[in-house]
Every structure is written in C-alpha cells, then in structure tokens.
A and B are shown apart, each in its own frame.
Chain A
Amino acid sequence: DQQVKQNSPSLSVQEGRISILNCDYTNSMFDYFLWYKKYPAEGPTFLISISSIKDKNEDGRFTVFLNKSAKHLSLHIVPSQPGDSAVYFCAASGFGSSNTGKLIFGQGTTLQVKP
C-alpha cells in the first residue's frame, strides 16, 4: 500500500520556465510534508516543507502548495535552472501518538532542465 505517490517518473522543462512536480497521498493523518532533492551518488537533501495547517510555503524559487481536500501537493520551481536537474522526492510524516517522525517517501520524479 503506497501512501505517497509521485505518478510522473520524469519531467523535462526548458531553463527559465516553471517546473511543477506533483505528489498525492492517501493517509489523512499525515501532518507534515517535505520535498527532498537527490543528486546521483549523494544522499537526499532537504528542500522545503509545509505543515498540514498551511496551504502554501515559499522559499526563494521554490514554492510548495498543499490541497488537503484533494490530498495533493505540488512543488513549483521558478525559474528552473540546469542545476535543478535531479530526482525530487515527496515525503510525508505524522508524529501522532507513536511519537515518531519517520518519513514515507514517494517513488521520486526525475527533473531535467534543458539549457
């Protein structure tokens, strides 16, 4: 049972344009969502996050939108740069009563930004 899904395995955009990466989840108990970026041969790097009580969080070129009713979140990168080319993972967490912050990851979307 995959609780976090990234349905697009890959995305290709032109430099300077907007990149939109999507993520869906099924568990309404998740209360925090995160995006990680991963380059080959490196560990995932934290990018941006959003609490379930918000619907938008912005950090420079990166904005995450959360639609709780649709159980959907998206990451917008504007403008996209060739250095953004990487695998992007959506992750969800919920401490709940178990007092754990384990992350449930999606399968990842490979973003290619063409010069």
Chain B
Amino acid sequence: DSGVTQTPKHLITATGQRVTLRCSPRSGDLSVYWYQQSLDQGLQFLIQYYNGEERAKGNILERFSAQQFPDLHSELNLSSLELGDSALYFCASSVPRDSYEQYFGPGTRLTVT
C-alpha cells in the first residue's frame, strides 16, 4: 500500500460526458502528479500540482483540468469525453526536493462507450 488513494477504481461513461477523478496523496506529500496510461502507450505525464498551485503541465488536453485543494487532495476533471480517453489514470505524490521518488495510487480505469 503506497498510501495514495484514488476513487473511483472503475468508471464507465458515455461519450460527451464529464467525470471527476479523485486522489488523496500520502500524508505529508505536497506534490500531486497525474499520469495517463493508454492501451498502447506507457505512462504519460499530464499535470502536477504543488501545495495547491499548478507546477507543470504535460500532454494534457484542453478538455481536461485539475486542481489541488487546501487539504492537498486533487481532482482531475475530464469533459466532452471521447472513446480515445479510455485509459488508466494514475495519481502519484511526492515531496519535491526531498526525493525524486513518486508513490502511485492504484489508478482509476476509465471506459468511455
């Protein structure tokens, strides 16, 4: 158990819909990272938040957004969903500058039908 929790574990929705994925980092970790793993690709970095502020952006679509709340949990919002958005979405947390290691949650499997 990494200490990072993600909900829900599975999500099935239709094209055009909007969903919210939730992540709670390890206790004390200030940074949250979101990654997407599609069927034919490795893990792709989407976005990072550090202590409530956006720190870095990767290949994140404009239809996707995220935020980190004062209690440090984070939400990833995916809207106008397309079939190609079906993937595993992982959240990871770390304490930057103390360690490069990131600790991953179990992931949310999103299926868009």
A46 to B3, CA, bound (A): 13
Instruction: Tell me if B101 and A34 are in contact (CB < 8 A).
Output: yes
Partner of A105, one of B42, B100, B101, B107: B42
Partner of B56, one of A34, A100, A107, A108: A100
Interface residues of B in 94-113 (CB under 8 A from A): 94, 96-97, 100-107
Instruction: Tell me if B96 and A101 are in contact (CB < 8 A).
Output: yes
Asked, given contacts A43-B107, A93-B100, whether A98 binds B43 with beta carbons under 8 Å apart, the answer is no
Instruction: Tell me if B55 and A100 are in contact (CB < 8 A).
Output: yes
Residues of chain B within 8 A of A106, CB atoms compared: 42
Instruction: Tell me if B96 and A103 are in contact (CB < 8 A).
Output: no
Partner of B42, one of A32, A93, A108: A108
Instruction: Tell me if A102 and B104 are in contact (CB < 8 A).
Output: no
A99 to B92, CA, bound (A): 17
Q: Give the size category of B's interface with A.
A: 20 to 34
Smallest Cβ-Cβ distance to A43: which chain B residue: B104
A88 to B: closest C-beta gap in Å? 11
A46 to B102, CA, bound (A): 7
B31 to A: closest C-beta gap in Å? 7
Interface residues of A in 86-114 (CB under 8 A from B): 89, 91, 93, 95, 98-108
Question: Looking at A46, A89, A104, which has the most chain B CB atoms within 10 Å of its CB?
Answer: A46
Task: Name B's A-contacting residues (CB within 8 A).
Answer: 2, 4, 6, 31, 33, 35, 41-45, 48, 55-56, 58, 90, 92, 94, 96-97, 100-107
A32-B100, A101-B94, A105-B35 are known; give 11 further A-B pairs, CB within 8 A: A43-B4, A43-B104, A43-B107, A44-B43, A45-B104, A49-B100, A100-B96, A101-B31, A101-B33, A101-B102, A105-B42
Closest 9 CB pairs of A and B: A43-B104, A100-B56, A105-B43, A107-B42, A32-B100, A105-B42, A102-B45, A44-B104, A43-B106
